[in-house]
Amino acid sequence: MTRPDTSVTVVEVTTVVASTTVVFSDIDGTLIDAAYSYAQSQPAVAALLARGIPLVLCSSKTRAEQQTLRAALGIPDPFIVENGSAIFIPAGYFPFPLPSSRRVDGWQVLELGVGAASIRAALARLRRQTGLEIQGYAGLSAAQVAQATGLDLPAAARAQQREYSETIVTPLSAADLARLQRELAAQGLSIVSGGKFYTVTGAASDKGVAVARLTALFRQQWGEAITIGLGDSANDAPLLAAVDRPYLVQKPGGVWQEMPDVPARRVPARRVPSVGPLGWRQAVMAELGL
Ligand SMILES: [Mg+2]
């Protein structure tokens, strides 16, 4: 069920308590623009870093993609990959053990999703059973992914390094999408639209669940935590529903995405009257009282 979004436009300025604030952010169309640039949001990223406020990236992007962006921006904090499939936490980031975590390279990983190999196998079965044309990243060369996305070759290769999901690039009719949803659900998988393409993940992969799980760790460390969330698309609805202070930035063209209703939503998202990373900067600067 959808209902009209009763969001309000950001006008007021509230200064937050830096030591107990966490920012959760979508990447594409939110932190970075359609040309994959973070030039407009970077000043606000720098302001968060200078105050030691954690910035947790939360997107459909892979670990390889997010590591590149984190390194470029100098972000040291945990991040949530592949639509809530896993939380990557730098080893020792929290001063207590993380019981259900898996150690991978220098990370403590909390996994909600299922492995990409079993997702690819399920999609291969579906292709045979249904005859549906379902083209995923795994069947494309890096050059083909680059062409479809506008990414350069190294970035396209990072986008293909999926550990918990598969990206479907085939445009789907409403009927085909509904059929895929049914067939995938029967196998414990789900498919969501990320704007340009579709992402297939384990049914338990959820941006909102991942945000809540990480928020609980910050609360365990600090005793309390104020959470800010920023997104631009329907697949950010669970993220925005899981935070105290949700912000919806505009899509190119200056429009806000109509957001699906999320039962767990606590407060309506505030609509930021600017597109993508410019709106991101305005919302974060307002939160910081800058
Ligand atoms: Mg987005």
Beta bridge partners of 167: 199
Q: With a cut of 50, say whether residue 287 has pLDDT above it.
A: yes
Pick from 12-16, 23-27, 34-38, 267-271 the range whose average pLDDT is largest: 23-27
User: Which of 5, 26, 28, 105 is an active site residue?
Assistant: 26
- 231 Cα: distance to centroid of ligand 1 (angstroms): 6
Burial (Cβ within 10 Å: 0-12, 13-18, ≥19) of residue 131: exposed
- 235 Cα: distance to centroid of ligand 1 (angstroms): 8
DSSP string, the chain: --------B--------GGGEEEEE--BTTTB-TTS--TTTHHHHHHHHHHT--EEEESSS-HHHHHHHHHHHT--S-EEETTTTEEEEETTSSSS--TT-EEETTEEEEE-S--HHHHHHHHHHHHHHH-----BGGGS-HHHHHHHH---HHHHHHHH--SSEEEE-S---HHHHHHHHHHHHTTTEEEEE-SSSEEEEETT--HHHHHHHHHHHHHHHHS--EEEEEE-SGGGHHHHHTSSEEEEEEBTTTBPPPPPP-TT--SPPEEEEEEHHHHHHHHHHHHHT-
CATH number of 116-136+162-202: 3.30.980.20
Q: With a cut of 60, say whether residue 12 has pLDDT above it.
A: no
Q: How confident is the model at residue 262 (pLDDT cuts 50, 70, 90)?
A: confident
- 193 Cα: distance to centroid of ligand 1 (angstroms): 10
- Average pLDDT of the chain to the nearest whole number: 91
- pTM for this predicted structure: 0.90
Judged by average pLDDT, the poorest of 82-86, 252-256, 263-267, 268-272 is: 263-267
Question: In which residue ranges of the chain is CATH 3.30.980.20 found?
Answer: 116-136+162-202
- 61 Cα: distance to centroid of ligand 1 (angstroms): 10
Q: What is the pLDDT of residues 88-138, one digit of tens each?
A: 999 999 999 998 999 999 999 999 999 999 999 999 999 999 898 899 999
The amino acid at residue 141 is: S
Q: How confident is the model at residue 196 (pLDDT cuts 50, 70, 90)?
A: confident
Judged by average pLDDT, the poorest of 30-34, 38-42, 231-235 is: 231-235
Q: How confident is the model at residue 259 (pLDDT cuts 50, 70, 90)?
A: confident
Rounded Cα gap, residues 205 and 62, in angstroms: 14
Q: What is the mean pLDDT of residues 171-178?
A: 92
Give the closest residue to 113 by CA, choosing from 141, 145, 87: 87
Judged by average pLDDT, the poorest of 97-106, 190-199, 218-227 is: 190-199
- 149 Cα: distance to centroid of ligand 1 (angstroms): 14
Question: What is residue 186's predicted lDDT score, i.e. its pLDDT?
Answer: 95
Question: In which residue ranges of the chain is CATH 3.40.50.1000 found?
Answer: 18-113+205-288
Q: How confident is the model at residue 15 (pLDDT cuts 50, 70, 90)?
A: low
Q: With a cut of 90, say whether residue 1 has pLDDT above it.
A: no
Whether 26 is catalytic:
yes
| CATH number, domain 18-113+205-288, options 1.10.10.10, 1.10.20.10, 2.40.110.10, 3.40.50.1000 | 3.40.50.1000
